[in-house]
């Protein structure tokens, strides 16, 4: 893997290569964020029989997102007089940093892995959970009751759905016998885990939507009752950082689902001549489309329904899936 190759070369060359790969990943993710927003609007428009963005950048509106970014950069950043100013400024950074850190363990192809950790799954779950601190801090520091309610909703939502999300991963870990993401991909050489762990996939996907605060679980930013939720008092580029973190997590979570349930870079049957990175990209884009499709199909649910779904449905199902997987492995794969 990448880290094994690096050890046989001079340290300064390793630093340069890692720096170059890091810059390339940043550019790829920023390009994804830019056009994921455009794709989201175009897919929504298609499903609702509307044109969508079609003014800036030709018929497809390919420059619309760039125009929106420029508008956000030119907007004034306002700090409420009664806000906790230091925490108000730091909160967007706290929410954004973990979104980029988790990408270090994602194997994008057989030869591109920034950190091949034996506990890659545990690292992802642990680091991604830190972003909630930034959201709660933003709600608290704003000194606004709607912002605080949005932050508290985010904390309750994360606690409720983090448990079934982690439990759904146990089935995959039991079958693989490892928490290394590269090992999980290699274990799917013959069959993807979406076929052997369909219940785990459904649970993980639903919990991922809640973790990303996307519709129909976008209760943290519910405009109908909380104005804008935890980010109500944020303007300009500070607000854009929260949105950037959301799409960074969409990139990271879609990549993780591709690795855990769709075989990562593993090719389909006799199409092994196609590079693994291309297979990863195709599967990744399919998962992103599923996230967009779900958002435009289902209406936002109530907060009590969100809690009931997490504790009364997903948690028992996740526990049952772990129990059944353990029994099957003990009987057939002893």
Same domain, 257 and 322: yes
pLDDT at 9: 54
Say how far apart CA 175 and CA 157 lie, in whole Å: 29
Q: In the predicted model, what is the mean pLDDT of residues 16-42?
A: 78
Cis peptide before 216 (omega within 30 of 0): yes
The count of other CB atoms within 10 Å of the CB of residue 77 is: 12
H helix and E strand count, the chain? 15, 0
Alpha-carbon distance of 101 to 115, in angstroms, equals 11
Mean pLDDT of 256-276: 85
Taking only the tens place, the pLDDT of each residue in 30-59 is 888 888 888 888 888 888 888 888 888 777
Using CA atoms, how far apart are residues 264 and 258, in angstroms rounded to an integer? 5
Q: 301 and 224 in one domain?
A: yes
Residues 33 and 98 in one domain: no
Closest to 254 in 3D by CA, of 200, 180, 204, 323: 204
Nearest alpha carbon to residue 118 among 163, 194, 204, 177: 177
For residues 128 and 273, state if they share a domain.
yes
> What confidence tens digit (pLDDT) does each residue in 312-328 have?
999 999 999 999 999 98
Whether 105 and 54 share a structural domain: no
pLDDT at 189 exceeding the cut of 90: no
- What's residue 241's pLDDT? 85
What average pLDDT score do residues 270-280 get?
82
Q: Which of 17, 40, 74 is the last residue of a domain?
A: 74
Q: Are residues 116 and 212 in the same domain?
A: yes
pLDDT of residue 7: 46
* pLDDT for the residue 173: 92
If asked whether residues 120 and 268 sit together in one domain, one would say yes
pLDDT at 2: 47
Separation CA 251–CA 36 (nearest Å): 9
Domain boundary among 74, 107, 130: 74
Are 35 and 180 members of one domain?
Answer: no
Check residues 226 and 80 and name the one with the higher pLDDT: 80
Structure tokens at 207: 């919990």
**At 26, phi and psi to the nearest 5?**
-60, -45
Distances in Å between the alpha carbon of 297 and those of 6, 48, 316?
46, 10, 26
Overall average pLDDT of the 103-114 stretch? 81
Same domain, 212 and 63: no
- Please tell me the distance from the alpha carbon of residue 169 to that of residue 261, in angstroms, as a whole number: 10
pLDDT at 207 over 90: yes
Res 10: pLDDT: 55
Answer yes or no: is pLDDT of 187 > 60. Answer: yes
Coil/strand/helix, residue 216: coil
User: Residue 79 falls within a domain, yes or no?
Assistant: no
Q: Which two tokens stand for residue 241?
A: 């950082």
Nearest to 132 by CA among 182, 94, 166, 167: 94
- Look at the chain and report how many structural domains it folds into: 2
Q: What is the distance between the alpha carbons of residues 148 and 91, in angstroms, rounded to a whole number?
A: 13
The three-state secondary structure class of 308 is: helix
Q: What is the domain extent for residue 70?
A: 1-74
Q: Which of 53, 74, 95 is the last residue of a domain?
A: 74
Residue 187 lies in a domain: yes
| Six-digit token string for 11 | 């340290």
Q: Do 122 and 69 share a structural domain?
A: no
Q: Does one domain contain both 292 and 203?
A: yes
Domain shared by 31 and 144, yes or no: no
């Amino acid at each position: 893997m990448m880290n094994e190759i690096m050890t046989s070369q001079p340290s300064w060359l390793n630093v340069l290569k890692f720096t170059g790969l890091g810059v390339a990943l940043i550019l790829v993710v920023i390009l994804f964020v830019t056009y994921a927003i455009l794709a989201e609007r175009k897919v929504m428009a298609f499903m609702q029989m509307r044109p969508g963005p079609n003014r800036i950048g030709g018929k497809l509106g390919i420059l619309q997102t760039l125009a929106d970014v420029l508008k956000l950069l030119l907007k004034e950043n306002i700090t409420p007089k009664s806000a906790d100013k230091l925490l108000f400024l730091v909160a967007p950074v706290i929410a954004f940093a973990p979104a980029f850190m988790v990408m270090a363990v994602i194997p994008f192809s057989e030869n591109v892995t920034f950190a091949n950790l034996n506990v890659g799954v545990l690292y992802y779950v642990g680091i991604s959970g830190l972003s909630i601190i930034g959201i709660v801090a933003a709600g608290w520091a704003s000194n606004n009751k709607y912002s605080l309610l949005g932050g508290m909703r985010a904390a309750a939502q994360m606690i409720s759905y983090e448990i079934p999300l982690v439990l759904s991963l146990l089935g995959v870990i039991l079958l693989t016998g490892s928490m290394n993401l590269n090992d999980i991909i290699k274990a799917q050489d013959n069959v993807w885990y979406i076929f052997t762990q369909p219940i785990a996939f459904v649970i993980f996907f639903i919990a991922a939507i809640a973790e990303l605060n996307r519709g129909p679980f976008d209760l943290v930013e519910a405009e109908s009752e909380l104005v804008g939720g935890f980010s109500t008092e944020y303007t300009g580029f500070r607000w854009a950082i929260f949105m950037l973190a959301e799409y960074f997590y969409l990139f990271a979570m879609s990549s993780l689902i591709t690795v855990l349930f769709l075989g990562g870079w593993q090719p389909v049957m006799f199409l092994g001549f196609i590079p693994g990175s291309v297979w990863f990209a195709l599967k990744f884009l399919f998962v992103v489309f599923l996230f967009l499709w779900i958002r435009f199909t289902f209406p936002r649910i109530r907060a009590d329904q969100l809690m009931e779904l997490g504790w009364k449905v997903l948690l028992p199902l996740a526990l049952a899936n772990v129990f059944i997987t353990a029994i099957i492995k003990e009987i057939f794969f002893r």
